[in-house]
A and B are shown apart, each in its own frame.
Chain A
Amino acid sequence: MTRFRIPAARAALIILATASLAACASRPKPMGPVATTAPPPAYQTAPAPGPGPVVEETGAPTPGSARDFVINAGDLVYFDTDRFNVRDDARAILDAQAAWLARYPAVRVRIEGNADERGTREYNFALGARRAAAVKDYLVGHGLPAGRMDTVSYGKEHPLDTGSGEESWAHNRNAHTLITGGAR
């Protein structure tokens, strides 16, 4: 699993990046009326290893790199319990994904659908597939050729957040857009 098998040195850098993201995430959440659960922080997200030297990961992202995609477009969108419709708060991220991918037409992506642990294994494979397909459909609707994307469902088998409780489950109901080729 590309997403989860990261060389140790690179993993350490990712942890640094994660820590800074987590710091952002610890800011107080806005108290305004929000229809759905607020988008969880994109923490513990391991960006796909890019082709560039490792030292570049701590600086500004190379435009067109996988890290650039994660930081400047966003690679995760979240879903409500047992739902697969694209939420309002996901649209901005998917719009940014579509724009970024339009700018770098050589890039290919895999959309990984995920579910929380509060369901049975087989049902969650189906649910994760729905979420991956919903993101793919959205991106196709915004001009991205379907041939540049493939989808997979991990069901509840690859939780992004390894904790339990509603906050963890909210993180784990997601679709992750992973760059599989063509990035700088």
Chain B
Amino acid sequence: MRLLFLRLATPVSLPFMGRASRVSDRGGVLGRSRKTPPRSLRESPSPGGEGKERLRLSLACIVALATMLTASVDLRAARADIVINVDQGATQPVPIAIPAFGGAAMAAQISGVVSADLQRSGLFRPLDPATFPALGPDLNVKPGFDAWKAISAQGLLTGAVSVDGDGHLRASVRLWDVYAGEALIGTEFTSTPANWRRVAHKIADAVYAKLTGQSGYFDTRVVFVAEGGSKARPVRRLEIMDQDGANPSYLTDGSYLAFTPRFSANSQEVAYMALRPTGSTLYLLNIETGRQESLGRFPGMVFAPRFSADGRKVAFSLEKDGNTDIYVMDVASHAAARLTSDAAIDTSPSFSPDGGQMVFNSDRGGSPQLYVMNASGGGVHRISFGSGRYTTPVWSPDGKLIAFTKQQGGEFHIGVMRPDGSDEHLLTTSYLDEGPTWAPNSHVILFSRDGGSGAHLWSIDVSGRQLVAAPYGPRASDPAWSALLP
């Protein structure tokens, strides 16, 4: 039975990224794609149709997990529900078959990256290709689902990749619900061959979004501090990589210590702190050009920069005569305004996504706790009341949660609470966990963990179930997760 995929397939163009891909730009696609961001295109109906969509695929697992994820962030959820969910046993990841895509040279590599993305999320279990039944060459012919049921596949992702005459890479994919016997996704992604990894991440994002109901986070990058040298002679360089660890690239040369990089709204710039023996500097670094500018000269230490969601402001800490307060700077004019004037330490500011509020860390009550205030200053109220010390609050992109570092009883935790301070739960525990950053879908958190042998990057989902070492082997800290790339 031939379905109408070709007519319904949604072509998606990716913009070119990085110097290498820009070199191979044949023109045209760059401008077009920026006018038509793939994110919105990707959200258009797939051949499965929203109304006909049957998530039998998710019977045992995805629905349960998505429900639990939703419960974790649903403001109506009861406190007890969250605790019980977190304490429940691990859900089973959904078995999904991803046969190597056919066609152009990088086809199998693309399906490999898709598979790795989905597996690392913890929500999917890609099956062993050696067990796969034969698959016909035509992407649009319904597979024989009984053979896929026989190997316990609930989802089947097939794809074909070609490079056409004008040099464009085209990847067509179908996601089949094996038990419903229906296609859930029928989409074509278009870019340059140099962008094949990003095409793969877009496909993985589409699968994740379809099956979880949440937007994906695979076509993203992470900037962080690469830790080299020894404890006594530390080297701290900014480095950037794709979220799956590919394409790592240093952004600073190590001639000074670099800390706390944070992405701008469009993920093209990074604000960070440089530390030299003579003091600290806040820089704005353009990732593509490598050029950076100082945010100005200040009389004391400046640190803890963080952009507002619209990218027009940077909040930061400035120390004068030992006292640290929070300031906000207009990025365009560099005009700075003071927001707190307490004698206590006020640091680690993070804007709410609507820009109206700011959560920060202060020890004005005697120990470090979390406070929320208006983004223009004033209206300060404390939101953390548990035992222990709370630091590094970060507002989630969807506004529903605040992630933080908590120190208690000789251990460190990454935790989350609602912006009003309710429903606190701790997601991790170790000798030193620190510095959470949110995936753009507000469901996964990257942080650094030092178990005693140096810091490394880890991720945890908001359910607290999926703790995974990030795909970066060397020592690293201060991760910052980009938005979904355009």
Of A24-32, A52-60, A151-159, the stretch lying at the interface with chain B is: A151-159
Q: Please determine whether A120 and B434 come into contact, CB atoms closer than 8 angstroms.
A: yes
Q: Determine the residue in chain A with the shortest Cβ distance to B257.
A: A157
Cα–Cα distance between A150 and B434 once the two chains are bound (Å) = 30
Interface size class on chain B is 35 or more
User: Contact: B407 with A159, CB < 8 Å?
Assistant: no
The answer to whether A158 touches B345, judged by C-beta atoms less than 8 angstroms apart, is no
Asked if residues A133 and B279 are in contact (CB atoms below 8 Å), the reply is no
Residue of B276, B277, B407, B432 contacting most chain A CB atoms (<10 Å): B277
* Residues of chain B from 400 to 443 with CB closer than 8 A to chain A in the complex: 405, 407, 432, 434-435
The yes or no answer to B481 lying at the interface (CB within 8 A) is no
Within 8 Å by CB of B322, from A1, A117, A119, A134, lies: A134
Q: Mark A142-184, 1 if CB is under 8 A from B, else 0.
A: 0000000011111001110010100000000000000000000
Which single residue of chain A is at the shortest CB-CB distance from B345? A126
Chain B residues with CB below 8 A from A82, complex form: 363, 367
Chain B contacts for A87, CB-based, 8 A: none
Give the residue of A5, A126, A154 whose beta carbon is less than 8 angstroms from that of B319.
Answer: A126
Q: Which residues from chain B contact A91 at a C-beta distance below 8 Å?
A: none
Known contacts: A119-B407, A123-B391, A126-B317. The answer to whether A152 contacts B301 by CB under 8 A is yes
Query: Given that A129-B319, A153-B301 are contacting pairs, would A123 and B279 also be in contact in the complex, using a CB cutoff of 8 Å?
Result: no
Structural contact, A2 and B277, CB atoms closer than 8 A: yes
Q: Which stretch (B10-18, B128-136, B229-237) binds chain A?
A: B229-237
Q: Is the CB of A153 within 8 A of B452?
A: no
Instruction: Write out the residue numbers on chain A whose beta carbons fall within 8 Å of the beta carbon of B260.
Output: 121-122
Cα distance A48–B234 when bound, in Å? 18
Quick check: B279 and A152 within 8 Å, CB to CB?
yes
Cα distance A136–B234 when bound, in Å?
A: 26
Tell me if B463 is interfacial: C-beta within 8 Å of chain A. no
A110 nearest CB neighbor, chain B only:
B277
Measured CA separation A158–B280 after assembly (Å): 14
Query: CB distance A159 to B368 under 8 Å?
Result: no
Report Cα–Cα, A84/B230, bound state, in Å.
Answer: 27
B236 touches A157 (CB 8 A): yes
B347 touches A159 (CB 8 A): no
B254 to chain A minimum Cβ distance, whole angstroms, is 12
Q: Is A94 an interface residue (CB 8 A)?
A: no
Say yes or no: is B361 at the interface (Cβ < 8 Å to chain A): yes
B 313-325 binary contact with A (CB < 8 Å = 1; else 0): 0000101011110
Check if A4 sits within 8 Å of B232, measured CB to CB.
yes
**Most chain B Cβ neighbours within 10 Å, of A4, A84, A112:** A4
Give chain A nearest CB distance to B172 CB in angstroms.
46
Q: How long is the Cα–Cα vector from A1 to B275 in the complex, in angstroms? A: 10
Of B300, B345, B347, B407, most buried by chain A (CB within 10 Å of CB) is B345
User: If A152-B278, A153-B301 touch, does A122 touch B391 (CB 8 Å cutoff)?
Assistant: yes
Q: Is B459 an interface residue (CB 8 A)?
A: no
CB-CB under 8 A from A118, the residues of chain B are 407, 432
Q: Which A residues touch B322, using CB under 8 A? A: 84, 129-130, 132-134, 136-137, 151
* Beta-carbon contacts under 8 Å, B226-252 to A: 230-234, 236
Instruction: Closest B residue to A4 by CB, please name it.
Output: B233
Asked if A3 is an interface residue, CB under 8 A from chain B, the answer is yes
Closest to A3 in B: B277
The reply to whether B275 and A122 form a contact with Cβ atoms under 8 Å apart is no
Is residue A76 within 8 Å, beta carbon to beta carbon, of the partner chain?
A: no
Decide if A127 is an interface residue (CB 8 Å cutoff): yes
The B334-386 residues at the A interface (CB cut-off 8 A) are 345, 347-348, 361, 363, 367-368
Q: Is A43 interfacial (CB 8 A cutoff)?
A: no
| Shortest distance from the beta carbon of A131 to any chain B beta carbon, whole Å | 8
CB proximity of B255 to chain A, nearest CB, Å: 11
> Would you call A123 and B368 a contact (CB within 8 A)?
yes
Q: Are B234 and A122 in contact (CB under 8 A)?
A: no
A121 touches B259 (CB 8 A): yes
Q: How far is the CA of A110 from the CA of B277 in the complex (A)?
A: 9
In the assembly, what is the distance between CA of A80 and CA of B123, in Å? 46
| Chain B residues, Cβ within 8 Å of A126 | 301, 303, 317, 319, 324, 345, 347
> Quick check: B300 and A122 within 8 Å, CB to CB?
no
Distance in Å: Cβ of A85 to nearest Cβ of chain B: 11
Which B432-479 residues have C-beta < 8 A from chain A?
A: 432, 434-435, 450, 452, 477-478
Per-residue A-contact encoding for B249-267, CB less than 8 Å = 1, 0 else:
0000000010110000000
A4–B324 alpha-carbon span in the complex (Å)? 27
Q: Let me know if B69 is at the binding interface, CB within 8 A.
A: no
1/0 contact trace for A100-126 toward B, CB 8 Å? Answer: 000000000010100001111111011
Determine the residue in chain B with the shortest Cβ distance to A130: B322
> Is residue B304 contacting chain A, with contact meaning CB distance below 8 A?
yes
Q: Which residues of B contact A127 (CB under 8 A)?
A: 345
A159 to B279 alpha-carbon distance, docked (Å): 17
Q: A122 CA to B434 CA in the complex, in Å?
A: 10
14 contacts between A and B (CB under 8 A): A1-B276, A5-B233, A44-B232, A84-B322, A110-B277, A120-B435, A121-B259, A121-B260, A122-B304, A129-B322, A133-B322, A134-B322, A151-B300, A153-B301
Interface residues of B, Cβ cutoff 8 Å to A: 230-234, 236, 257, 259-260, 275-280, 300-301, 303-304, 317, 319, 321-324, 345, 347-348, 361, 363, 367-368, 389, 391-392, 405, 407, 432, 434-435, 450, 452, 477-478
Extra 7 A-B pairs, beta carbons < 8 Å, given A5-B233, A127-B345: A119-B407, A126-B324, A129-B322, A133-B323, A152-B301, A157-B236, A158-B232
Residues of chain A at the chain B interface (Cβ within 8 Å): 1-5, 44, 82, 84, 110, 112, 117-123, 125-127, 129-130, 132-134, 136-137, 150-154, 157-159, 162, 164
